[in-house]
Amino acid sequence: EARIVLAMQTTDTQSAEYNLGVLKKQDPRIARVLHTAKHAVVYVYTNDESADSPWERHNVEGALHIVERSAEPRYQLFIHNRLSTDNLVESITPEFSIEVTEEFLLYKNEEGQVLGLWFYEASDRDSTARLIEQLVEYVTAQQQQPAVSVPSPAAPAAP
């Protein structure tokens, strides 16, 4: 079985264990945290020409985690919201596409909505983008693997 080596951010072990415990309360199928960015803010592209900016600050900000789950979807982006109990969870699938700008990590979610993630630390934006790109490549390759057919046992011969 081919394994992908993921560039994981080195994290303090106690902090990583704490984050995993908190995330498992939200989703018990989270197996491990692959990456954490301390603070990200979510913006939504509104395409509203009458607004001062086509971007509207969403009511979601907090620690961003890239997690691996024990069930499909295997990988998700999870923002543990500090402003409300509404966390942001996005599945990282072959269709997940990102673009990195000077200020944002942009992506389109499964509903076709364009979102921008602003990171307090630019290095967090860049490392998050690299890992998401690796995961998209990995899940795309996994999806393209031919299904292995298991032959059924031979029927006993008739006497």
Q: What pTM does this model have? A: 0.80
Confidence band of 145 (pLDDT split at 50, 70, 90): confident
What's the pLDDT score for residue 121?
A: 94
pLDDT tens column, 97-125 = 999 999 999 999 888 899 999 999 999 99
Query: SS3 letters for the chain?
Result: CCCCCCCCCCCCHHHHHHHHHHHHHHCCCEEEEEEEEEEEEEEEECCCCCCCCCEEEEEEEEEEEEEEECCCCCEEEEEEECCCCCCEEEECCCCCEEEECCCEEEEECCCCCEEEEEECCHHHHHHHHHHHHHHHHHHHHHHHCCCCCCCCCCCCCCC
On the question of a cis peptide bond just before residue 28, with omega within 30 degrees of 0, the verdict is no
What whole-number percentage of the chain has pLDDT above 70? 83
pLDDT at 96 over 60: yes
pLDDT tens column, 22-69 = 999 999 999 999 999 999 999 999 887 777 888 999 999 999 999 999
Overall fold of domain 31-144? PH-domain like (2.30.29)
